[in-house]
Amino acid sequence: MIKIFHTADVHIGMKFNNYPEPVKGYLKEARLDVLDNMIKFANEEKCNLFVIAGDLFDNITGIDKKTKDRVITALNNFQGECVLVIPGNHDYDNGMIDLWDSFNKAASDKIVIINEECAYSLEDYGLNAVIFPAPCHSKHSSTNNLQWIKEKEIDDNYVNIGIAHGALEGLSPDLDKNYYNMSIKELNNIPMDLWLLGHTHITYPFKSPITNEKIFNPGTPEPDGLDCKHNGQAWIIIVDDNKKTNAKLIQTGTYKFKDKVYTIEDRDDLDKILEELIKDEPENTIARITLEGSVDEDVFQYRQEIYASIEKNIIYLIVEDSDFKMKITAEKIHREFSDGSFPQELLLSLSDDEDTLQLAYELIMEVRNDN
């Protein structure tokens, strides 16, 4: 039996430049913290292998020695037999980059960088397994790196594990096929007992626990943006003596990104946004809220109180409310424009056409403010 902790796309060194400090700093640090936490989980589960299926680092040139040393220290804390790291398309290895050369020199023998197209036996680590990697040697590629494995003679006496980084067809939005595209059918046609993938920040398969599956993709272990719909996950996979698999997902992330569109009709709708965003670990929440609708003036003004309350509770709030409008009522028109004036008469004449009235009001106010 072999027990594997499978992660990928940690993206240590991601800059998060679209966020202000201190939020940027929190998110950068979280990618290092999640590695420590995953090693802890793997040790608690008594895993034999800790596998990082590409993009341990977010880039190949901006990783300083302090960060590399911290990563190596974390990986050295793994109590199992071996740590396997494959270069992904963000931290690719083309043989001319210092990142992996310096990393290898500092790493212990327990950490193996599988950056060549060759079979890696784990017998020296006491494991009856052979690793068949498909590493990345560039940022983009219109072809994957599986061909050498297809041509290789496979010995069924071992647990044969393929590790690849690239877009999985049907799961990854790789429309131009520039990210080492591969398909489930292609992988199934290669006689591996297990495939451990990386690249796509979506978990596959879509259910847990699961048995007798041989293709796994963990998604990112720490959410990295508003398009990340899960809380950070990794796989723990057992391959038994008959080469059958039993796998479960574990939650690994700290921060939660929430992105939602709300249609507002009254104050209660605004209150519900606040309740929703602060009910579940608000101290770890980053949210973007998009408001739509047309409301009375008091409700429109009340939105600012809600924004302020949300901002006091969560880490960071992004508001998109350009389509959230204040109703232009006859009362408002009479209050803001002189009786008999052209703007007043025009706006009153448009009272039955809410959209046109709104547009006319905004244009009039824009001209007034410019003057």
Task: Say if residue 243 is in the same domain as residue 344.
Answer: no
* CA angle, residues 133, 250, 279, in degrees to nearest 5: 140
Based on the fold, state whether residues 303 and 241 are members of the same structural domain: no
Q: Which domain holds residue 56?
A: 2-251
Domain count, the chain: 2
Question: Do 22 and 100 fall into the same domain?
Answer: yes
* Residue 336 pLDDT grade (very low, low, confident, very high; cuts 50, 70, 90): confident
pTM reported for the whole predicted model? 0.90
Domain shared by 191 and 88, yes or no? yes
- Given a contact cutoff of 8 angstroms between Cβ atoms, the answer to whether 10 and 220 are in contact is yes
Task: Pick the range with the lowest mean pLDDT from 40-44, 212-216, 315-319, 352-356.
Answer: 352-356
Check residue 38 and give its pLDDT: 98
User: What is the rounded CA–CA span in Å between residue 27 and residue 17?
Assistant: 10
Backbone phi and psi for residue 292, each to the nearest 5 degrees, phi listed first = -130, 160
pLDDT tens sequence across 81-132: 999 999 999 999 988 778 999 998 989 999 999 999 999 999 999 999 999 9
Strand-pair category, 129-134 with 159-165: parallel
Do 202 and 337 lie in one domain? The reply is: no
Q: How far apart are CA 56 and CA 6, in angstroms?
A: 12
95: buried, middle or exposed (CB in 10 Å: 19+, 13-18, 0-12)? exposed
Q: Are residues 229 and 283 in the same domain?
A: no
Q: 140-168: b or e for each residue (b if 16 or more CB lie within 10 Å)?
A: ebeebbbeebeebeeeeebbbbbbbbbbb
Say if CB 148 and CB 117 are below 8 A apart.
yes
Last residue of a domain, one of 232, 251, 270: 251
Report the interhelical angle of 354-370 vs 342-349 (nearest 10°): 160
* Digit-coded pLDDT (tens) for 20-54: 999 999 999 999 999 999 999 999 999 999 999 99
209 and 146 inside one domain? yes
